[in-house]
Chains A and B, each alone.
Chain A
Amino acid sequence: MAKVTLTNVTKRFGDVVAVNNANLEIKDKEFLILVGPSGCGKTTTLRMVAGLEEITEGTIEIGDTVVNDVPPKDRDIAMVFQNYALYPHMDVYNNMAFGLKLRKFPKEEIDRRVNEAAEILGIKNLLDRKPKQLSGGQRQRVALGRAIVREPKVFLMDEPLSNLDAKLRVQMRTELSKLHDRLQTTMIYVTHDQVEAMTMGDRIVVMRDGLIQQVDSPLNLYNNPVNMFVAGFIGSPAMNFLDAKLVKEGETYYLEGNGDFKIAIPADKVATNPEIKSYVGKDVVFGIRPEDLEDAAVVEKPVTDDNSYMATVEVVEPMGSEIYLYLTANEHSMIARVDSHSTAKVGDNVKLYVNTSNLHVFDAETELAIL
């Protein structure tokens, strides 16, 4: 069993609280991603699991053992960072094996581990090559192999792909996910890149200012963010936020902008989130993802005054399969990912269709999701 449990974990550096009362249970064999902007506490959290940072308060367990006072070398973890050393005078075999050799593992055991890791990583035919004869991706695999041969209970990875070019990074993301499937080992992975987080993990922990904001599956995080930070951090282009007031007319609840939109909230959404009713007359934030805004001229759904509003096109960015429209409506700016058939041009006043079943509403003060 190699679940990892953080209970009320806090880390302070002097007066600065780097991680604030973190509670997290990472399941055995799970691929968990810690994501957040620089300084959010994700790396500090990882380093506390590794034993590189002392814990100010709380406990960390690996398996069923509290490891607060267990030295890093006895925690049965392997770390992978973005900058790894491949020794130019050693072949791939030795670049993977030297740690085991230096720890005086028996030769047969080293052979078994290196060959197994090379097999898993698809580099068995490269074992006698020197690093300079390898491509960037192959080198990265050797670095991973060095961690794999340690057969750790938990892999800790701190932005291991951030030094790679964009193409290789995409390729290695897939490879790391496959590797996790094959190894069936707990992996904790830190990144600041939300795309990396969304495409790789079983679950994602979003952090900000030392606080865990939300722990969820990638899809749930995307569809049901708990607050405006998560909503804005996950997804690219980011979710649009428009100041609004919640108003009720008859039995219908509306999000009303300052004269630029009046969008009806679907009755079923109100029914499942009745607490929204208490916000009538109050300031809220209307959140809508760019793909849930369409050019009404090309959409095949019924467009009404309740699910559309007018906006002016400021910039048109054709992306091939779709078009990004940068628009303004009154004092609001927004991005819409519209169908490539849209003919909207800069300066046009277009009608935007809102996919209201995917709209979000946030408390303007607490920034917490209401809907």
Chain B
Amino acid sequence: MPLTLKDIARMAGVAESTVSRAINNKPGVGEETRKKIMEIVRQYNYQPNQLARGLAIKETRMLALIVADLSPADYQIIKSIEAYANEQGYNCLICNTDNNLQKEEAYLQLLSSRRVDGAVIIGGDLANINIINTALNKNGLMVLVNCLAEELLIPTVLVDNAQGGYLAASHLLQQGLKKIAIVMGSSKEFLESEKLAGYLQALAEYGLEVEERYILETDGSREGGYEGFIRLLEQGDLPEAFFVTRDILAVGLIDAIKMGGYLIPEDFSIVGYGESIISSVINPPLTVVAEPLEELGRYAAKYIIEVINGRNPEEMIKVLEPVLKIGESSVSRTE
């Protein structure tokens, strides 16, 4: 027979409601009592009966993780959300919409019809009207991750990509490098424009003029990275360093550098963006701006559970800063 709340209450010598409050991390339980109860929970590996619990309090203890277009980075975020959610007694339903509005609407219906307690919307850049509409409704409890909303304040967790661009360029500048090119996707893309803004800010802080020829907009592909380097080579004015805003662009760029017989970091220092499988197989190990994906997921899960429990998160918009992870591709040539 599995252990029940009643059993734990008897063993701890407290009321059933006290056990329930302790397990659900609700106030009104003394520290000593809580410790005693949690010790019994651990000792007997107590698992609350989620179904009974759901029926009793009209909760499903289920979260929908609605992803616009599942990427390797999203995978990390989802893992982190799930880990935190599980700790708090929630399960997760992963819903990939492939940027398809009908699919998204169907998944949001899970929320409106209370088949999940809350939803985390991951990616998609801009909250569309489906999301806004759902958020306006009473049951529309949601948190946005890496997604902006024009009309409404919805609890949000974001990464400051401009700060990422700034970190990358600053790192190169700190090593005495002055001729730094940025190889990026289209500046019309919001994320790319943010990274460019950070790069430009770092140059400005070092009193350096912006060299238009060192801003290489590409189609964001491996070929784009390759051709970017060739373009600079033909111009005959090569930079000392590159900040590459996407992992796949870095692959192409580094292919071209190596094909030209140049060495990294001896001839060119390189900083990439994003800690991914792709950037992890580049040789020499790439210095990258790493997004705090685990932290991002943890905040998202914490926020949605707070929202479900009727509490506003401490900061409605949480902006996390990326960190620089130094590999071997950006070591100063003077060292």
Residues of A within 8 A of B (CB): 47, 51-52, 71-73, 79-81, 83-90, 98-99, 101-104, 106-107, 146-147
Neighbouring B residues of A98 by C-beta, 8 Å: 126, 148, 150, 190
Find B160's partner among A51, A89, A147 (CB 8 Å cutoff).
Answer: A89
With both beta carbons as reference points, the residue of chain B lying nearest to A146 in the complex is identified as B150
Contact call A79/B160, Cβ cutoff below 8 A: no
* Least distance between B166 CB and chain A CB atoms (Å): 11
B152 touches A85 (CB 8 A): yes
Task: Decide: A102 and B162 in contact? CB cutoff 8 A.
Answer: no
What are the interface flags for B158-173 relative to A under an 8 Å C-beta threshold, 1 for contact and 0 otherwise? 1010110000000000
Is B263 engaged at the interface, CB distance under 8 Å to the other chain?
no
> B interface vs A, CB < 8 Å?
125-126, 128-129, 132-133, 136, 148-154, 156, 158, 160, 162-163, 187-190, 193, 316-317, 319
The answer on a CB contact under 8 Å between B160 and A83 is no
A85 in contact with B316 (CB, 8 Å): yes
* Whole-angstrom CA separation of A146 from B152 in the bound complex: 11
Question: CB distance A85 to B317 under 8 Å?
Answer: yes
Which residues on A sit within 8 Å (CB–CB) of B317? 85-88
Nearest CB on A from B164, distance (A): 11
Q: Out of B156, B188, B190, B193, name the residue touching A85 (CB < 8 Å).
A: B156
Docked Cα-Cα span, A101 to B192, in Å, equals: 10
Chain A residue at minimal CB-CB distance from B189: A104
CA distance A204 to B153 in the complex (A): 28
Interface centre among A72, A80, A101, A147 (most CB of B within 10 A): A101
Minimum distance in angstroms from A150 CB to a CB of chain B? 8
Looking at the assembled complex, report how far the CB atom of B201 sits from the nearest CB atom of chain A, in whole angstroms. Answer: 11
Closest to A79 in B: B151
* Shortest CB distance A51–B (Å): 7
Asked whether A71 lies within 8 Å of B163 as measured between CB atoms, the reply is no
A84 touches B153 (CB 8 A): yes
Give the interface SS of chain B, mostly helix, strand, loop or mixed.
mixed
Asked whether, in the complex, the Cβ of A81 is within 8 Å of the Cβ of B190, the reply is: no
- Cα distance, A99 to B158, chains bound together (Å): 16
Q: A52-B136, A80-B151, A102-B126 are in contact. Are A89 and B162 (CB under 8 A)?
A: yes
Residue of B nearest to A71 (CB): B129
> Whole-angstrom distance from the CB of A27 to the nearest CB of chain B?
25
Point out the residues of chain A lying under 8 angstroms from B136, CB to CB: 47, 52, 81
CB distance from B323 to the nearest CB of A (A): 15
CA of A101 to CA of B189, assembled, Å = 7
> Would you call A102 and B190 a contact (CB within 8 A)?
yes
A88 touches B319 (CB 8 A): yes
When distances are taken between beta carbons in the complex, the residues of chain B under 8 Å from A80 are: 151
Nearest Cβ on chain A to B307's Cβ, whole angstroms: 13
The interface residues of chain B lying within 8 Å CB-to-CB of A87 are: 148, 158, 317, 319
- B241 CB to closest chain A CB, in angstroms? 25
Instruction: Give CA–CA (A72, B188) in the complex, Å.
Output: 24
Q: How far is B190's CA from A99's CA once the two chains are assembled, in angstroms?
A: 9
A89–B190 Cα distance when bound, in Å, is 14
Check A89 against B148 for contact (C-beta < 8 Å): no
Question: Shortest CB–CB separation between residue A186 and chain B, in angstroms?
Answer: 18
Q: Does A99 lie within 8 Å of B132, measured CB to CB?
A: no
Which single residue of chain B is at the shortest CB-CB distance from A98?
B148
In the complex, the chain A residue whose C-beta lies closest to that of B321 is: A89
Q: Which residues of B contact A86 (CB under 8 A)?
A: 317
Task: List chain B residues, Cβ under 8 A from A88.
Answer: 317, 319
Report Cα–Cα, A89/B132, bound state, in Å.
Answer: 22
How far, in whole Å, are A47 and B133 apart by their CA atoms in the complex? Answer: 9
Q: How far is the CA of A215 from the CA of B162 in the complex (A)?
A: 50
Contact A52 B133 (CB under 8 A): yes
Pair B162/A107 contact, Cβ less than 8 Å: no
In the assembled complex, how far is the CB of residue A49 from the closest CB belonging to chain B, in whole angstroms?
A: 13
Which residues of chain A come closer than 8 Å to B188, judged between CB atoms?
Answer: 101, 104, 106-107
Which of A86, A88, A89 is the most central at the interface, judged by chain B CB atoms within 10 Å of its CB? A89
How far does the Cβ of A367 sit from chain B's closest Cβ, in whole Å?
32
Residue of A with least CB distance to B155: A85
Whether A73 contacts B152 by the Cβ 8 Å rule is no
Give A183 to B6 CA distance when docked, in angstroms: 66
Query: 6 tightest CB-CB pairs across the interface, nearest first?
Result: A83-B153, A72-B129, A85-B153, A102-B126, A99-B150, A89-B160
B150: A residues at CB distance < 8 A: 98-99, 146-147
Q: Are B129 and A73 in contact (CB under 8 A)?
A: yes
A53 nearest in chain B by CB position: B133
Q: How far is the CA of A370 from the CA of B251 in the complex (A)?
A: 82
Inter-chain pairs besides A51-B129, A83-B153, 9 sampled, C-beta below 8 Å:
A47-B136, A52-B132, A72-B133, A85-B153, A87-B158, A88-B319, A98-B126, A99-B126, A102-B190
